[in-house]
Amino acid sequence: MKKKMICLFFVFVLVGISSLSAQMSKSQLQEMYVNYLRGQGYNPSLDSDGDVNFTAQGQSFYIEVLEREPQSFRIVLSGTLDPGSNRLRALEAASTATRTNRVVRVFLTGNGRIGIDTYIFIARPEDFSVHLNRMVGQMVMARDEFLAAIR
């Protein structure tokens, strides 16, 4: 009985900690992202949608602030690419870049342009900081591979 009570206690503690992280508001998530980026030497800003914009490795990115899903983390490479007139070649290049870069998605948008993003699930919203630089690097590599393949 004592072991059962101890196990239940730990379950409640873990659920409580998990629910605290899951209850971050949009403004708290924005503040967390902005503070981290500022501390890393980036110059973040908020856009009209509430997303966090920043520049890294010569490219513009934004973090989509997902209040409904604070344990999801998505970065988008801003400024979609124009695939030119050869749609099939663009799709093949996007497929190649997606296949060779982990967690990066290179895709054709609804308006016929190329979009690049990366999306991961994290245990706690604050865990994004461990992955951000690698995600950015992977997206830049995918962009470069796409451009090389489309030429």
**Statement: residue 146 has pLDDT above 60:** yes
Quick one: tokens of 72? Answer: 């999801």
pLDDT at 60 over 80: yes
Q: What was the pLDDT predicted at 14?
A: 52
Cβ neighbours for 125, distance < 8 A, ≥ 6 positions apart? 21, 24, 29, 32, 70, 71, 73
Give the pLDDT confidence score for residue 125 in this predicted structure: 93
pLDDT for 9: 52
The beta-strand segments (E) located in 18-143 are 45-46, 52-56, 59-64, 72-81, 104-108, 114-121
* Domains parsed from the chain with CATH numbers: 24-150 (3.30.1460.10)
* Each residue's pLDDT tens digit, 127-142: 999 999 999 999 999 9
Give tens-digit pLDDT for 5-59.
454 455 454 555 444 445 789 999 999 999 999 999 999 999 999 999 999 999 9
pTM of the model: 0.79
* Per-residue pLDDT, 61: 96
Any idea what DSSP says for residue 72? E
CB atoms within 10 A of CB 32: 18
Closest CA to 146 of 74, 58, 72, 81: 81
pLDDT of residue 10: 52
pLDDT in tens, 67-113: 899 899 999 998 767 777 788 888 999 999 999 888 999 998 887 78
